[in-house]
Amino acid sequence: MSTTIHSLSPEVLALIFEWCCQSDSEPLVPSAAAGPLLVARISRHWRSVALSTPVLWCSLSFRLKKLGETLPFLKTWLERSGSCPLTLNLAYKSPRRAWEKPTVLPVVDILCLHAHQFEWLRLHLPCSDLVRLGQLAFPRLRRLDYSLVDRETELPDIDLFTCTPQLSELYTTGYAVCALLAQKQFPWTQLTTFRCSYYNLYDCLQVFRLAPSLQHCALVVEHPAAFHRPIATISPLPHLRSFSLKGGWTDTQILCQLQLPGLHELSFSVSRTSQLTPLISRCPSIRILELRLYALPEDVPPILEYFRSLSSLVQLQVHGHGFRSHILVAVLEALENDGSFLPRLETLHFECTSESGLYPSLVKMLVQAKTLRPLSTVSFHFTQSVGVLEKQDDSAIAALRRDGVDIRFS
């Protein structure tokens, strides 16, 4: 006997809705063409099942604009979640001009009713709203991601987000970190993940001192700057597994102060190969390395020696800025001629600039390189105009691509 979807029980239909409405790792953006709003429009029966299935309404990404349009929608959506754990991305509409103030909406009163449900909060709010929320208890909160709309406003000298016994991930900006460091009760020792943009080097070093259980750390700076204050030595961070330092190549002095015996993944920028040396003894177990080089061709030998010291490396990504393809040539030659050079390497990605005149020799080297074939992933991206390649070069590149080598020119 055939079964149609109209004959399914509400319980089975709810499971199908849940599977169809699942979002990825990001909160769900409401849309009449997808998710619970879509299935609720099909029929009265489907709408009834959707409205009585709280798990469909436990994720939301929402931008606050106008009082009459947004608050009733937000209130209704959260009410439909029942007692399910909530994931919420909530942002005020930022002012278009620096001198304008953000529109203040009475949204905190709605969020207060659901504070016990939030597991993941991403907030971009005015200071006053953030302070009110920060004084609530969030017994389920595991991840907090917040920034201020009115950045020029100073946070008051009170403890925020202290009643968060499950908090383990913090994503924020340098200004907010400075304010949190002034607090006495923020649960730094619980953190396993810390990500900060527009950071101050010394504030982040203070975080390392307060958060010995960190496993993942990512720092992004907008304007690199030189620092002249002395930096105190930090105790080893034995649990740190991944560390990313982007945008601030002058801040590689931070690497000289960190001892990371269990680090598996490292991503950072460097302008002088001498800055690589202190890292070797402090990160002996690196398996994944992403390196953004602002180096000169004459720095090739030190870079090769640095790579040679990383015998456990499985994945290597090199992004070259301001140099040509000399480093790529040296790495390919070392892989081809020295069996002890990166013996465990499985993935190689190289992105760099090069003169058009070097492309034929590079292509020939890639075609003849026997060590590239056993690698699981190989990709090369040359970011300077190539001009016209010879026909034999086109054929060679086509052969490389057939062998699984991702090679691109732009």
Domains and CATH numbers, the chain: 287-410 (3.40.50)
3-state secondary structure of 120: strand
- Output the furthest CA–CA distance in the chain (Å, rounded): 79
| Mean pLDDT, rounded, of the chain | 80
Average pLDDT over residues 100-129: 83
| pLDDT for position 152 | 61
The first and second tokens of residue 386, run together, are 């190539």
Q: What is the Cα 164 distance to its own chain's centre?
A: 23
| pLDDT for position 99 | 47
Confidence of residue 82 (pLDDT cuts 50, 70, 90): very high
The answer to whether 50 touches 36, Cβ cutoff 8 Å, is yes
Question: In the predicted model, is pLDDT for residue 62 greater than 80?
Answer: yes
Average pLDDT over residues 137-143: 96
- Residue owning tokens 């930022």: 94
Among 249-253, 284-288, 401-405, the minimum mean pLDDT is found in 249-253
- Residue with the bigger pLDDT between 294 and 107: it is 107
| pLDDT for position 386 | 53
- Cα(355)–Cα(325) distance, rounded to whole angstroms? 8
Confidence of residue 7 (pLDDT cuts 50, 70, 90): confident
| pLDDT for position 226 | 47
Supply the pTM of this predicted model. 0.84
| pLDDT for position 364 | 74
How confident is the model over 231-274, as pLDDT tens digits?
566 778 889 999 988 765 555 566 667 788 889 999 887 766 66
- Cα(60)–Cα(78) distance, rounded to whole angstroms? 9
The first and second tokens of residue 348, run together, are 């190689």
| pLDDT for position 381 | 83
DSSP for 1-70, written as a single string: ----GGGS-HHHHHHHHHHHT---SSPPPPBTTBHHHHHTTT-HHHHHHHHT-GGGGSEEEEEE--HHHH
- Residue with the bigger pLDDT between 215 and 392: it is 215
| pLDDT for position 289 | 92
- Cα(370)–Cα(391) distance, rounded to whole angstroms? 23
Question: In the predicted model, is pLDDT for residue 80 greater than 90?
Answer: yes
- Cα(291)–Cα(274) distance, rounded to whole angstroms? 14
Average pLDDT over residues 16-34: 82
Name the CA dihedral angle for 366, 371, 375, 380, rounded to a multiple of 10 degrees: -20
Question: In the predicted model, is pLDDT for residue 394 greater than 70?
Answer: yes
How confident is the model over 329-385, as pLDDT tens digits?
888 888 888 888 999 999 999 887 665 556 667 777 777 777 776 788 888 887 765
Task: State percent of the chain over pLDDT 90.
Answer: 26
Highest averaged pLDDT of the listed ranges 26-35, 89-98, 212-221, 240-249: 212-221
Average pLDDT over residues 17-33: 81
| pLDDT for position 1 | 45
How confident is the model over 308-327, as pLDDT tens digits?
888 899 999 988 765 556 77
Which residues of 59-129 form beta strands (DSSP E)? 59-64, 86-92, 118-125
| pLDDT for position 259 | 80
Among 64-68, 141-145, 232-236, 403-407, the minimum mean pLDDT is found in 64-68
Highest averaged pLDDT of the listed ranges 219-228, 258-267, 290-299, 365-374: 258-267
